[in-house]
Amino acid sequence: MKSTVSEKDIAVLREKAKTLRIEILKMLTEAGSGHTGGSLSAADIVTALYFYKMRHRPDDPKWIERDRFILSKGHAAPVLYAALALSGYFDKTLLGTLRKLGSPLQGHPCSRKLPGIEISTGSLGQGLSIANGIAIGLKLDKLSSRVYCLLGDGEIQEGQVWEAAMTASHYKLDNLCAIIDNNGLQIDGHCCDVMCVEPIVNKWAAFGWHVLDINGHDMEAIVSALNEAEILKGKPTMIVARTVKGKGVSFFEGKVEYHGLAPTHEELERALKELKG
């Protein structure tokens, strides 16, 4: 399917994703701890959601007709915080308080403390069930809002994900679109070495989902996939987004050790130079 957005809009989104990456790196360096790799790999997807696809009102976070986003891989909190701040949910200066005592920007997203967070996450494998519940609730209320849920590829090793996979297709939740940040890495190494999750596409298809297999850093492909998911009726859609962990900073890319390491100040400087190019 052809994307309906202009090349100019795509260019703007790409620029936005870069800004997100810069904010992610800055807040993580300031925090001194946190998850760099999985925040960067999801930056393009989250940009497309918050700045292109989702209907939401930063000045009215509980707007009843909003689309919902569930960050099931909660450790990627920085990418969500950056998207929320740049959307205008809260002041950008708050990003500098990430992971610090008293901050609403907890190590993992906390819905009680920060506007725009639909549900607290951080324990992997729970988000898709929640997304299903919201999708069913929206249908009951005859609302046309859509639900987006971002999962990690290591995360889908959790059994609950596959329970939720059945529920979504059983209830024909076509107002649900899940996305896997398929960066090939988890904490202990490559997913294929730790606990093989392939063939991902066939698995989701076998569970009754409409599956789209895309390059998760190609903004045009992400936008088209999100649009296709919205049109498709009778099934939930899974976008398998092939990504690179640490994307955007050459010395973090594909490096398993940067799963849970924040950049040092020196690394930040080098990274910003690369990004600002």
x/- mask, other proteins, residues 19-38, rule CB under 8 A, reads ------------xxxxx---
* Contacts for 58-67: CB closer than 8 Å, 24+ residues apart: 58/84, 58/87, 58/88, 58/89, 58/116, 59/88, 61/89, 61/115, 61/116, 64/143, 65/143, 65/144, 65/145, 66/145, 67/145, 67/146, 67/147, 67/148
- Spatial separation of the C-alpha atoms in residues 109 and 119, rounded to whole Å: 8
User: The tokens 């898709």 sit on which residue?
Assistant: 128
Instruction: Provide the minimum distance between the beta carbon of 55 and ligand TPP in the complex, in angstroms, as a whole number.
Output: 26
> Could you tell me if 192 and 182 are in contact, meaning their C-beta atoms sit under 8 angstroms apart?
no
Is the Cα torsion angle 212, 216, 221, 222 positive or negative in sign? Answer: positive
Cα–Cα nearest to 108, from 86, 76, 152, 83: 76
38 forms part of the interface with ligand TPP (CB under 6 A): yes
Q: Which of residues 26, 68, 245, 247 is near ligand TPP by CB under 6 A? A: 245
Q: Which does 277 bind (CB under 5 to 8 A by kind): ligand TPP, Mg ion, other proteins, none?
A: none
265 forms part of the interface with other proteins (CB under 8 A): no
Q: Which of residues 181, 209, 224, 258 is near ligand TPP by CB under 6 A? A: 181
Of 11 and 192, the one with the shorter C-beta distance to ligand TPP is 192
Is the Cα torsion angle 246, 248, 253, 258 positive or negative in sign? Answer: negative
Contacts with other proteins in 62-121 (CB under 8 A)? 74-75, 99-103, 105-108, 110, 120-121
Q: And the tokens for 28?
A: 């993580």
Is the Cα torsion angle 171, 150, 215, 19 positive or negative in sign? Answer: positive
Q: Which does 73 bind (CB under 5 to 8 A by kind): ligand TPP, other proteins, Mg ion, none?
A: ligand TPP
What is the total count of residues that contact ligand TPP (CB under 6 A)? Answer: 20
Of 95 and 180, the one with the shorter C-beta distance to Mg ion is 180
152 forms part of the interface with ligand TPP (CB under 6 A): yes
List strand residue ranges (DSSP E) for 24-123, in order: 68-71
Instruction: Provide the minimum distance between the beta carbon of 100 and ligand TPP in the complex, in angstroms, as a whole number.
Output: 20
User: The tokens 């689309």 sit on which residue?
Assistant: 67
Contacts with other proteins in 43-62 (CB under 8 A)? none
Residues in touch with ligand TPP (CB under 6 A): 37-38, 41, 73, 75, 122-125, 152-155, 181, 183, 185-187, 245, 259
Residues in touch with other proteins (CB under 8 A): 31-35, 74-75, 99-103, 105-108, 110, 120-125, 154-155, 157-159, 186-188, 191, 194-195, 257-261
